[in-house]
Structure 1
Amino acid sequence: MGKGGESIPDEEWERFLREAEAGAGGAPEEPSARARMVARRLREESGPPEPWRSHRPARPRGGKGWYVIGLLVAAALLVVALDPGRVAGWFGGGGGESTPLAVESERPDQPPPTEAVALKPTVEKPFRGSPAARWSDGTAGIGLPEARATGWMSKEQVAQALEKSRDFLAASSLDPGVLRGERPKKAIALINPHQPDVQGFLTTAFRSPGRENDPLLLFSRFDSRKVRLVGDVIKVRGRITYREGKRGAVEVTTDVTYVYPVVRAAAGSDEVVRTIVRREVVMSWDDPAEVVIDPGTFSLVFYTMESTNSGCDTFTGYLTPEFGADRATTPPGDGPEVDPFDRSTSMEARTRQSGDSKCGTATRS
C-alpha cells in the first residue's frame, strides 16, 4: 500500500525497482508485505545460495608468526522491508553509485549491514551486492594515524615509516604484476635481509610452497593462466597503528581487508566471483644502533592471513577462486560460519573461535 492506503500497480512497482537499481530518486514507499513478496521472487529467480569452504591450518610459531587461511562463501538472503531511502545504496556496484565510507580509524563495533537482496556481481559492476561497493579503492582505503615522536624516531621519521609500511601493503597486495603471479620484488626489498628465518621462508615459499611456507601469507597472487582480475580496482578497508616496541623500535601493525573480483582467464568469461583476503602484519622499524638492519627496511614480527574463495588445503602459491561449476561439487566445510566483512572481530579472536577446523563457510562475498 502507498500513502493514503492506495495500492501501487504492478507496473509502477516494476518501474520502482528499475529506477532504484539505476540510482533514481523519488521511489515510491511500500510496506513490508510487498517487499517480502518481491524479494522472494528475486530469490527464486537467482537460484539457491552456493556454499563455499574455508581452510584454517595450524598456527606455526617462531619468526613467521601464526596464520589462518580461509575460503568461505555462501550467499545469504534476508527478506526485509524495503526502505526507499536506502535502496540506491543496496544496488551499489563500486561505480560511484553508493556513498563511500570514511576511512577506518579504529576497530568498528559491528559488521556492516547485510544487503536486503543479494545481487550477483557483473563485469561492469564487480562489487555489486557487496559491502565492498562502499569501500575506497586501493591504498585510499587504508587509514593512517597521525605521526608523533616514538622510540628512537622523530615525528618525521615515524611519518616516513608509516608511509613505507603502506608502500609494503601496496607492493604485496595491490601491485598489478604481483597479482598476476610475478615475484613481489618491491615488497621483499622492504624486508630486513638480516632475518635468516624470514629470508628462508621467502626462498622456500616461492620455490616449493606448502602449508607452513605459503607466499599467500604475505602476498596476493593469482595464476594468470587460470583467472584474471576484473578491471583495475581493488576495494580495500583497514588501518595502520603503531607503538613503541622492543629496544625503542617503532612497531607498526597493519590490519587490512582486500576484495579482488575475478573471472576465468579464458576469453569471453563473464562469471564474476570475489576473493577476499584479510591480513594482519606487524613490522618493526628498528634502531640501527640496536639491531642489524639495512636502512629503509623493517623486521617482520608477526603475520596472519585469512581468505575467502581462495582455495581450501591448496598450497600452490596462488589464490585459487572457485566458480559456479566448481562450487557445485565442493562438499561443505567443517568450520563455523564467518563474515569476511566483519572487521569488528580481531583475527586472533576469530582464530580462537574457529579452533582446529580446516574449512568454514562465509556468510557473504
Structure 2
Amino acid sequence: MGAGTEPDGSSRSDEEWERFLRESVAGVTDAPKEPSARARDVAKRLRSEPDRSLEGWRNYTPARPKRRTGWYVVGLLASLVLLAVALAPGRIVGLFGGADSSPLAAETARPTQAPPAQVAQRPTMDEPFRGSPAARWASGAAGITVPKAQAVGWMSAAEVERALARSRDFLVASSLDRAVLRGQRPEKAMALINPHQRDVQDLLKTAFRTPSEKNNPLLLFSRFQPSRTHLVGDVVKTRGRLTYREGKRGALQVTADVTFVYPVTRAGEDGDEIVRTIVRRELILSWDDPEKVITEPGTFSIVSYKYDMTNGGCGAPTGYFTPPFGTDRQTDQAGTEIDPYDRSAPVGRGESSADECQKATRS
C-alpha cells in the first residue's frame, strides 16, 4: 500500500504525500487540504451513481398523476345530446339523421330526379315547412331564377332583360301577392296581359264572377277564401326558373316553370293543423313585335297555361283553393298520385274535378 490511500482504493504517489506533509508543517496557505471523510464518502457515492449527478434538487419536478378529463367531457356531451333530443326531437333528427338544411342553389335547368325523402316531421306554426323539401327552397321571388338576357328576335338584350323582369313580376302579382292570396282580384297581374288577346280577356271577365272548369281563375292565379283558410306566416316557398327563345314572328317567348308551396290552416280555429297546398305552374308568354301583332307596350300574350295542384281541394270550381282539413282530407285519398316536389317530370293538367283529384305522395 502506498503512502496515502483514497477512499476508492487509489493511492497517492510518495512524492505527493511527502509534499503534503512538508507544506502542512510549513503552513503554506494554498497547501492542498485532505478531503474530510464525509466529503470522500459523498464523492464515492456520486461516482457510483453517475446518472443522478446531473440532476439538482432545485430543478426536480415530481411526476403528476394523469387526469382522465376525456371521459368526463364525453359524458357531459352525451348528457347534453340526450337532453336536446328530449326537448326537440325533430330538430335533432334533422341534424343527425342525414337531412341537409342548407339552402339549395338556384335552379338553372330541369332537375333529373325528385328531391330525396325527408325525415317525417309535422309542420308547426313557427316552422310551417318543417319536414318538407321546400324548407331548403328560397322564399318568394328569390326562388324564381331569371337567366342572363341576350338579344332575341325583335328585342335587344336590354329589352329582353326588361321583358324577363316583367314576366317574373307577373308571377309575383298572380301567385305571391298577399292581397291576391287572400282572395282579392289580381289587378296588377291582369294589367300585364295583352288587352287585345280576346280568349284570355273572356276568361278573366267570367272567371271571378262565375268560375267553371273552363273559366277558372286558378288557371292563372293563386287564391284562398279568407273566411275558410288562413295563410301561415308571411313566407311562400318557391322553386323554378324562366327560360326564353325566339317564338313566332320574331317574338320573345318566355316559359315560366315554378312550384309554389302555401302553408295554410283552417280559419277561425286555434288548432295547429297545417296543410301545405302545392301548385306547380307552367306558363308560356309571348312578347310580340307591335309591328306584327296588335298589343300594348309592356304587355304580353299568353300562349299556354297548365298547372299541377295538390291539397287544394276537389269538386266543382269555386275560384279558390280549398285545402282539406280534418276528416275532409279523406276525400283527397282517391285519384292520381303525384309527387308535388318532383320537378324532373313535365307539368300536367292539374285541374281537380268531382271525378278526380291529384293525390300528393308527400306534402
TM over 0.5: yes
Pick from 147, 151, 156 the counterpart of residue 154 of structure 1. Answer: 156
1:306 is displaced (CA, Å) by 1.2
Q: Which has the larger radius of gyration?
A: 2
- Secondary structure class of the residue paired with 2:333: coil
Give the Cα separation in 2 of the matches to 1:20 and 1:86.
17
Give the Cα separation in 2 of the matches to 1:179 and 1:313.
20
Tell me which residue corresponds to 1:359: 357
What amino acid maps onto 2:276 in structure 1? R
Deviation by residue 1:116-139 (Cα, 9 ceiling, x = unmatched) = x31110101100000000000001
More deviation, 165-174/264-273:
264-273
1:206 is displaced (CA, Å) by 0.9
Tell me which residue corresponds to 2:85: 17
Identity %: 57
Q: Tell me: higher relative CO, structure 1 or 2? Use CA pairs within 8 A at least 6 residues apart.
A: 1
Pick from 169, 176, 184 the counterpart of residue 174 of structure 1. Answer: 176
Tell me which residue corresponds to 2:320: 318
Give the Cα separation in 2 of the matches to 1:289 and 1:12.
71
Give the Cα separation in 2 of the matches to 1:204 and 1:211.
12
Tell me which residue corresponds to 1:46: none
Tell me which residue corresponds to 1:113: 116
Matched, 1:332 2:330: no
1:360 is displaced (CA, Å) by 3.8
Matched, 1:84 2:96: yes
Give the Cα separation in 2 of the matches to 1:321 and 1:162.
32
Tell me which residue corresponds to 2:287: 285
The answer on whether the counterparts of 2:311 and 2:332 sit within 8 Å (CA) in structure 1 is no
Runs of 4+ deviating beyond 4 Å: 10-14, 18-24
Pick from 302, 326, 343 the counterpart of residue 300 of structure 1. Answer: 302
Give the Cα separation in 2 of the matches to 1:253 and 1:331.
30
What amino acid maps onto 2:362 in structure 1? R
1:272 is displaced (CA, Å) by 1.1
Give the Cα separation in 1 of the matches to 2:196 and 2:345.
34
What amino acid maps onto 1:234 in structure 2? V
What amino acid maps onto 2:111 in structure 1? P
TM-score normalised to the size of structure 2?
Answer: 0.73
Aligned residue pairs: how many? 285
More deviation, 308-317/278-287:
308-317
Matched, 1:345 2:348: no
1:283 is displaced (CA, Å) by 0.3
Tell me which residue corresponds to 1:232: 234
TM-score normalised to the size of structure 1?
Answer: 0.73
Where do 5+ consecutive residues of structure 1 fail to align?
Answer: 1-9, 25-38, 40-81, 90-97, 352-356
- Secondary structure class of the residue paired with 1:207: coil
Pick from 123, 128, 134 the counterpart of residue 132 of structure 1. Answer: 134
Flag the 1:86–1:199 CA change in 2: closer, same or farther, 3 A: same
1:191 is displaced (CA, Å) by 0.0
Deviation by residue 1:159-188 (Cα, 9 ceiling, x = unmatched) = 000000000000000000000000000000
- Secondary structure class of the residue paired with 1:261: strand
What amino acid maps onto 1:364 in structure 2? R
Flag the 1:86–1:20 CA change in 2: closer, same or farther, 3 A: farther
Where do 5+ consecutive residues of structure 2 fail to align?
Answer: 1-77
The answer on whether the counterparts of 2:313 and 2:332 sit within 8 Å (CA) in structure 1 is no
What amino acid maps onto 1:216 in structure 2? L
Deviation by residue 1:89-140 (Cα, 9 ceiling, x = unmatched) = 3xxxxxxxx211011000000000001x311101011000000000000010
Flag the 1:106–1:125 CA change in 2: closer, same or farther, 3 A: same
What amino acid maps onto 1:363 in structure 2? T
1:187-206 superposed matches below 5 A:
187-206=189-208
